[in-house]
Amino acid sequence: MASNFFVVHHTFRLGMAEKYWEKMNTEWSDEVSQQFRDNLENAGIHFHTAFFIDKDGPIFCIYEAKESVSDDEFQKFIDGPEALGVHGGLYPDCPMNNTCLKVNLSLSGSEPPLPRHFTD
């Protein structure tokens, strides 16, 4: 069973970048970070890395999901209340539009972009 990789393109909704960074800078802690990672793991998802292009966005993130996680389930997680890092504690007023793009590994010789987190 092979996991799937996703690139998530986050763009801030109008007027939300400042609110997001303010919340992240004042309330993001090691405890919240661990809760986010635990939520991911419980959903069968692993966060690999983020690329912050500008404070006003966009942000690109690479995630990995167990094969049993459908594309729809992945999108719902990223848009939902458990994705603490994505909405920065502002849920249900999610500050971002999240475009989830599944990586087609067959186009790159089936090699994943990063070492797999999920090996079973």
Contact 47, 61 (CB under 8 A): yes
Residue 22 lies in a domain: yes
Contact 80, 32 (CB under 8 A): no
Residue 96 lies in a domain: yes
Q: Any alpha helices (H) in the chain, and if so which ranges?
A: 17-27, 30-42, 71-79, 84-87
**In angstroms, what CA-CA distances link 103 with 14, 21, 50, 51, 67?**
28, 28, 16, 17, 13
Task: Give the model confidence (pLDDT) of 77-102 as tens digits.
Answer: 999 888 877 777 777 777 899 999 99
Task: Give the model confidence (pLDDT) of 51-81 as tens digits.
Answer: 999 999 999 999 999 999 999 999 999 998 8
Residue ranges making up the domain that contains 44: 9-105
Domain count, the chain: 1
Residue 112 lies in a domain: no
d(CA 89, CA 24) in angstroms, rounded, equals 8
Residue 3 lies in a domain: no
Residue 4 lies in a domain: no
